[in-house]
Structure 1
Amino acid sequence: MKAPIRYRPHHFLCSLGFEGKGYSPDFTANMTAIVMGRLRVQDGESARIVVVTEADDICTPCPSRRGNSCESAGKIEALDAAHAKALRLNEGDELSWGEALDRMRALPDTILDDICGPCQWRGFGMCTAALKRLKSL
């Protein structure tokens, strides 16, 4: 059995909207391995995720990573707090990707305007489109 994926709260929606773009080639390859290799595969909904409040498995090769933190720590902590509240996540929670999808599916349609405000990727619309697709299933 694979170890649970360590996720910051805001990475749940980032993984939902991921389209193969990232901050660097190493970051993109790592996120592709996690999202496409563990979550978006047959039986991916059973993948286990543990919620953390520091650098996680997505952050590992990020060029902005500084130890267990980020050079944009204030912005990232605000994103994590907003996503944790919206998705009802607490540090140490363990859930399946399927359970995470159910929580994302239950979000109000316009919530990304509130919880993703400072995210530089929000303007591209990937997460909005992905959430809309998820809700239509």
Structure 2
Amino acid sequence: MTKPVVRLRPHHFRCALGYEGKGYSPDFTRNMTEVVMGRLRAPGGGEVMIEVTGAADTLCAPCPRRRGTGCEAQAKIDALDMAHAGALRLAPGDRVTWGEAKRRIVERVAPGDLPRICAGCAWQAGGMCEAALTRLHADP
């Protein structure tokens, strides 16, 4: 049986890359771990199909900040999504594999670019996304 497509907002491509087991709530963290560690980073994860969305996605499902198909911080999320969509040349409805997503990240997002495209993200200060981006560039 084929596993369902993972739906991701554009900025969640970077979140999946930098994820280290932390989240907004236990349910959110459990879901993020299942998707990122159990699918995208699991053996064969490069073949997982991702559909780009402009609304709440697979990772947002149990988020305590979700409000319907949006977020309590919608203006910030829209800005993050716009910056990431532009950098990765993605639009809602596009479908790419996780392997293709990582190739796009390597080709279009250099180490040091995250302060610009992730401006306003509370997780940026932790450095995990920059570290993951540096590792991806070292061993794509």
TM range (shorter): over 0.9
Task: Kindly tell me the number of residue pairs found equivalent between the two proteins.
Answer: 137
Match for 1:111 among 102, 107, 113?
A: 113
Q: TM-score under structure 1 normalisation?
A: 0.98
- Counterpart in 2 of 1:120? 122
Q: For structure 1, which runs of at least 5 residues remain unmatched after alignment?
A: none
Distance (Å, rounded) in 1 between the aligned partners of 2:65 and 2:43: 32
CA distance in structure 2 between the aligned counterparts of 1:109 and 1:133, rounded to whole angstroms: 9
Range 78-87 or range 103-112, more displaced:
103-112
**Separation in structure 1 between the aligned mates of residue 138 and residue 110 of structure 2, nearest angstrom:** 13
Partner in structure 1 of residue 7 of structure 2: 6
- CA apart distance, 1:108: 2.1
Is 1:22 aligned to residue 23 of structure 2?
Answer: yes
Deviations 1:58-81 (A, max 9, x none): 000000000000000000000000
Distance 1:28 1:109 in 2: 26
CA distance in 1, matches of 2:45, 2:54: 23
CA distance in 2, matches of 1:44, 1:23: 24
Q: In the TM superposition, what whole-angstrom CA distance separates every residue of 1:4-55 from its partner, at most 9, and x where no partner exists?
A: 1000000000000000000000000000000000001111000000000000
CA distance in structure 1 between the partners assigned to 2:133 and 2:113 by the alignment: 10
In structure 2, what is the equivalent of residue 60 of structure 1? 61
The alpha carbon displacement at 1:113 in A equals 1.1
Per the TM alignment, residue 104 of structure 1 is displaced from its structure 2 partner at its CA by: 0.9
User: Secondary structure, in 3 states, of the residue corresponding to 1:29?
Assistant: helix
**Aligned counterparts of 2:30 and 2:111: Cα–Cα separation in 1:** 30
- Runs of 4+ more than 3 Å apart: none
3-state SS, counterpart of residue 10 of structure 1: helix
Amino acid at match of 1:102: R
Counterparts of 2:130 and 2:110, CA distance in 1? 11
Once residues 59 and 3 of structure 2 are traced to their aligned partners in structure 1, the CA distance between those partners, rounded to angstroms, is 16
In 2, distance between residues paired with 1:103 and 1:62?
27
TM-score by length of 2: 0.96
**Deviation for aligned residue 1:109:** 2.0
